[in-house]
Amino acid sequence: MRNQATLKFGGKEFHSRLIVGTGKYPDSPTMQKALEASGAEIVTVAVRRVNLDRTQESLLDYIDLKRYTLLPNTAGCYTADEAIKYARLAREVGMSEMVKLEVIGDQRTLFPDNEELLKATRILVKEGFIVLPYTNDDPIMARKLEDAGAAAVMPLGAPIGSGLGIRNPQNILIILETVRLPVIVDAGVGTASDAAIAMELGCDGVLMNTGIAGAKDPVMMADAMRKAIEAGRQAYLAGRIPKKSYATASTTMEGMIE
Amino acid sequence: MEIRLNGKVREVAEGITVRRLLDDLGLHPMRVAVQRNLDIIKRDRYDEVVLQPGDTVEILTVMAGG
C-alpha cells in the first residue's frame, strides 16, 4: 500500500496531492483564485518568449512564489532535443530544478513519444534535473522511466483536455505495482469523480489543468477537485470492501417474527 | 546595429550588454532566460556578454501553461 503521508520528490515534501496548471483560464485573477481554492502547492507553467511589444502583466504577478513551487513544462516539444533545450531554459529562468517533461508524438492526440521521452529523461537526469515525465499508461514504459532516474511517473488518464477520465484503470493499477516512484495521473481528468477514482486506485497524486480552467466556474471546480483528491485518498487508505457479484445482506435474519 | 530578437529584427546600440538590453526592455533579469545564438547565457554573465551584429537572441520567461 502506498501510505506515505506526503508526496515526495527531488528532496521536497508536499502535502497537497493535486498539481494544477496555469493555462487556459478566462483571466489571471480567476486563475489565482482557482489555484488558492485547489490547495495546490505545485503549479505548472510553460516557458515562452517574453512579449516585447507592450508591457503586459506577467504570470508571476499572480503567483506567489513563497507559496507555490513552479513546475515548468516542455509543452509543444516534439523531439528529445527540443524538450531538453526547453528544460535547460526553464531551469535558467531560475524558478525550479523540476521539469514536467513532455515530448509529444502527435498533434491531434498529444500522446507522448515515449522513445524520445526516455532519451530526454536519461539526459536530463544526468544534468541534475528532477524529471517528472508525462507518459501513457504502459507499465513497461513506466519501469523504463524509473530505471532512467525519473522522480515520478505521470501516466495520462485520457488525452490532454479531453475530460474523459481514467480510461484504463487496470493499467494504472499495474503501474502502481510496477514502480516504486510516485505515480501521478496527468491529463484527462474532467470532473471530481475522475480525480477521486485516480486516488482510490492508489495514485500518489493527480495533475490537471483543463478540468479546472475550462469549467464554467473554475474556482468552484478547483475546490471540488481538492475535496475529491482528499476523499479518494482517504477511501484508499481506509481499505474499501471487495466487489462481489451477489448480495450479502447488511441486516441479520435473526429476530424476525413468524 | 541589428540583431534578431525573439524572431524579429531589432536595432540596438553598438556594444550593448545583455544586462543593458534587458534594462532597456524593462525586463527583470531574475525572471528571464536568455539564449544567444543557441547558447544559454547564465545570469551571472549578463553584464559581461556583449551582443554582436547579427546575433540571434531569445528572451524567455514563464508563461501560463498546463
Closest-CA residue to A144 (of A133, A130, A158): A133
Q: What is the mean pLDDT of residues B24-37?
A: 92
Q: Give mean pLDDT, residues B4-20.
A: 95
Best probe of the B interface among A50, A154, A206, by most B CBs < 10 A, is A50
Question: Taking CB atoms and an 8 Å cutoff, what residues of chain A touch B30?
Answer: 94
Inter-chain contacts counted by CB atoms under 8 A, chains A and B = 92
Q: How far apart are CA B52 and CA A138, in angstroms?
A: 49
Exposure string for B16-53, b = 16+ CB within 10 A, e = fewer: bbbbbbbeebebeeebbbbbbeeebbebeebeebebee
Which one is catalytic: A100, A119, A144, A243?
A100
CB contact under 8 A, B31 and A58: yes
Mean pLDDT confidence for A13-36: 97
Contact B33 A89 (CB under 8 A): yes
Q: Say what the pTM is.
A: 0.95
Q: Is the pLDDT of residue A55 over 70?
A: no
Contact A229/B at CB under 8 A: no
**CB count in 10 Å sphere of residue A69:** 16
Tell which residue, A160, A240, A152, A143, has the closest CA to residue A199. A240
Backbone angles phi, psi at A104, to 5 degrees: -90, 140
Per-residue pLDDT band at A11 (split at 50, 70, 90)? confident
pLDDT interval class at A1 (50, 70, 90): confident
In whole angstroms, what is the distance from residue A192 CA to residue B1 CA? 56
- Output the pLDDT for position A58: 85
- Determine the residue type at B21: L
The share of chain A scoring above pLDDT 90, in percent, equals 92
Arithmetic mean of pLDDT, A31-47: 97
From B30, B34, B65, residue closest to A21, measured CB to CB: B65
Q: Per residue, what are the HEC states of chain B?
A: CEEEECCEEEECCCCCEHHHHHHHHCCCHHHCEEEECCEEECHHHCCCCECCCCCEEEEEEEEECC
- Identify the pLDDT of residue B6: 96
Give the residue-averaged pLDDT of A140-169. 98
Report how far residue A136's alpha carbon sits from residue A156's, in angstroms, rounded to the nearest whole number.
5
ipTM: 0.95
Distance CA(B55)–CA(B38), nearest Å, equals 10
What share of chain A has pLDDT > 70, as a percent? 99
A62 touches chain B (CB under 8 A): no
Taking CA atoms, A107 is separated from A12, A75, A149, A150, A189, in Å, by: 33, 11, 27, 25, 19
Query: Which residues, numbered 97 to 156 in chain A, qualify as contacts with chain B under a Cβ-Cβ cut-off of 8 Å?
Result: none
Angle between helices A28-38 and A218-238 (to 10 degrees): 20
pLDDT tens-digit readout, A76-134 = 999 999 999 999 999 999 778 999 999 999 999 999 999 999 999 999 999 999 999 99
Active site residue A85: no
| Cβ-nearest to A47 among B34, B60, B66 | B60
Residues from chain B that touch A95, judged by Cβ atoms under 8 A, are 62
The residue of chain B nearest to residue A54, with distances taken between CA atoms, is B25
Q: Over chain B, what is the mean pLDDT?
A: 94
